[in-house]
With several copies, the nearest count.
Chain A
């Protein structure tokens, strides 16, 4: 079902700053900020009046905070890619956007202090910093790995870095940190820090690679998936992927309401463009 806290509102842009390849944008959202959990996302209308872009765009919540003066702020990290995201990053303080949040599932927070490894690819680091803070506040050890094609696409703000015990960076072109992919450094980090749970967010291929590693090393893996979404609220059935349910049945499952955060081990990966055998109703 849809996140029971979801509300639709007109949110004012409070700030918009370019950071490397991304824009860090802050929106005034009032009380709603208090109901956002790490891993939840927002769905925003793009293009303005008489736009040819008719579908909302989904963005992971980077941070949500209800200030003591009652001002609720929602922060996003946005990569200008196609027409929708480019329109969004062109909005200026004072402009308003139509926004629905919080949507989707959130990262499961353990009751015991555990050793957590947070893995982000590109703007996939966005939801991980607020998750890191929450885990820290529960006494967890939090190590982080961020990967991207190149240094400018690593989003790791200073205040974010403070909430992790260690930060490892990988880039495909070697322009920052270790040359290579996050999956190259995971096995060593898992062993080194005696990791109990991996939390991940990034491109689907990365999530799949992490799932394989987590299975080999017997580590839990919660990942935030990214499927094309037309509605973001569970009514269109475009955002599905095959996931094994608690009853052992594999169903085409909506990532906007039963995700984006899912158990990596329950997802059948690399199944875009064909329905795998064994899926219910194939």
Chain B
């Protein structure tokens, strides 16, 4: 390594800027079969909820042009079993851990934050607010400034001092900078951009929506231009807020594009499904690209596309 490839998000340090994306690497167990988790900047775990969750019925996925829809529905064991099994295992691996949490009510977020506040070995909390708010007609938290802020504020109040909070935003909004503003005010130390876009595929044989839940989240290369735009817009509005970028990154060039737009770290999601080694390849290619473009330090490349040339 001849360049400084480390990064930091809200005070938390990471040896390199390549993370897994929540929900695209489980808790890291399977990927550790392909590479040591220590070679990732961080493992971002699948969003965990208060209680065990079956998730949605199948079909849960549909491939789309250069993308896919999913409606996993946050299947998981619930926070208690997660803390009992997954966190100790990840710690044993020596992995940097970012825990992603998701709730159905503001109180859920508060409960999750309290459960996590004294857990050792966690570098940051990612707060997935792209979940239906059961107390508000199932409207997604991330889609309105006030509900988004309420969820983040609940985490902030309950997490205690140290742990940086990363608010994960949805691109399915009229003005993503307004949502960013509200969660920053509510206490977010960083932002994760972007979650999936709401989409649908209809099976032209059954002539019904292909997914059991009708709609699902669109991810993969198809959405990369949306991710780059969202990151660029938010970076332009908030020059200093740490941003974890994600959305359709499949190679080092793609990751570099998000970095130039403003991402301080890049999460790899759907690309891992096509190639379990994706994160490693991307890490190496990104480092080479940063070097080839003359950056001595990764952080110099962050937001470089915003520069005003003389």
Contacts and interface: CB of A to CB of B under 8 A. Distances in A.
Interface of A: 1-2, 4, 6, 8, 45, 52-56, 98, 100, 227-228, 230-231, 233-238, 240-241, 251-252, 257, 271-275, 279-282
Nearest to B273: A231
Contacts of A236: 23-24, 61, 70, 72, 273
Interface stretch (B48-56, B188-196, B238-246, B257-265): B48-56
A281 B81 CA distance: 13
Contacts of B46: 237
B187 interface: no
A171 to B, nearest CB: 22
A265 to B, nearest CB: 20
A273 B272 contact: no
B41 interface: no
Contacts of B70: 230, 236, 238
Interface of B: 23-26, 29-31, 33-34, 46, 51-61, 63, 65-68, 70, 72, 75-78, 212, 220-221, 250, 270-277
A75 B213 CA distance: 37
Contacts of B271: 54
B53 A1 contact: no
A238 B60 contact: yes
B78 A281 contact: yes
B275 A273 contact: no
Given A274-B212, A282-B54, A234 B30 contact: yes
14 contacts: A8-B276, A52-B66, A54-B67, A54-B274, A100-B276, A228-B58, A228-B59, A234-B26, A234-B30, A235-B272, A236-B70, A237-B55, A271-B57, A280-B54
B63 A55 contact: yes
B70 to A, nearest CB: 6
Given A2-B30, A235-B273, A236-B61, 4 more contacts: A230-B70, A235-B26, A236-B24, A275-B54
Q: Which 6 pairs show the lowest CB-CB distances between chains A and B? A: A281-B52, A231-B273, A238-B61, A281-B54, A234-B30, A281-B53
A98 B275 contact: yes
B58 A227 contact: yes
B34 to A, nearest CB: 7
Contacts of B274: 45, 54-56
Nearest to A232: B273
Contact of A272 (B26, B53, B54, B58): B58
Contacts of A281: 51-55, 75-78
Contacts of A228: 58-61
Nearest to B27: A235
B29 to A, nearest CB: 6
A282 B24 CA distance: 22
A241 B60 CA distance: 11
Of A1, A236, A252, chain B has the most CB atoms within 10 Å of the CB of A236
B205 to A, nearest CB: 11
A237 B72 contact: yes
Contacts of A230: 61, 63, 68, 70, 273
Contacts of B275: 8, 45, 98
A4 B29 CA distance: 12
A252 B55 contact: yes
A227 B70 CA distance: 14
A174 B66 CA distance: 41
A41 B58 CA distance: 21
Given A45-B274, A235-B24, A236-B273, A54 B68 contact: yes
